[in-house]
Amino acid sequence: MTRELLDRALVEEASKKSGLVWVKGAGAAAARALWHVWHDGAVCLVGDGPGEQPLEGLVDGGSAEVTVRSKDKGGRLVTFPVTVSELRSGSEEWEAAVAELKGKRLNAPDGEAMPARWARECRVLRLTPAGPVAPLPDGSLAEQPVATPATTRKPVPAGLPRLLMKRRKRR
């Protein structure tokens, strides 16, 4: 088998098994984690609408870099360049991609009305592999997390462990 066929098989298998990819659009400062589906030889995404994931730096006709992680270990499996194309709402490609995306969308606020909302308010993108797989880097390439208004929970109150231990002793 040629290297190109092996690369294509690796990209497809890794993308099918992982529900999350890291995408870095042209000009973006950092890669962003996005949920996706693998459909018809490409990574398909939906976003940029209310309550959906942001698709910053991904423009129709542009390029990007996708990194797929291992579902069980979380480590980087493969990184590859892609060409971005925005699917036109109502087209056959859009309908097929949305049918796949709809099945994978978790916690949707509108259930069966979701495709109509996506047609009105969101973008559906197709990221088609467009070149050889990048070699794995020597280092970790860890980056600072993207700024967000989300917070973590507060520290456990100092007296809580004692309260919990008293309850156990009573039993």
Q: What is the pLDDT of residues 96-120, one digit of tens each?
A: 999 999 988 888 878 889 999 999 9
Higher pLDDT, 170 or 5: 5
CATH class for the region spanning 3-144: mainly beta
Q: What is the pLDDT of residues 57-103, one digit of tens each?
A: 899 999 999 999 888 887 888 999 999 999 999 999 999 999 999 98
Determine what percent of the chain is predicted with pLDDT higher than 90.
53
C-alpha–C-alpha distance, residues 59 and 55, integer Å? 9
- DSSP single-letter state for residue 112: G
Q: Where are the domains of the chain?
A: 3-144
DSSP 14-29: HHHH-SEEEEEETT-S
Banded model confidence at residue 23, pLDDT cuts 50, 70, 90: very high
Banded model confidence at residue 40, pLDDT cuts 50, 70, 90: very high
* Mean pLDDT of the chain, nearest integer: 88
Query: What's the pLDDT at 102?
Result: 92
Nearest Cα residue to 76 out of 138, 122, 28, 161: 138
DSSP 64-107: EEEEEE-TTT--EEEEEEEEEEEPPTTSHHHHHHHHHHHHH--S
State which of 108-112, 124-128, 129-133, 134-138 shows the largest mean pLDDT: 124-128
C-alpha–C-alpha distance, residues 91 and 97, integer Å? 10
CB count within 10 Å of CB 77 equals 19
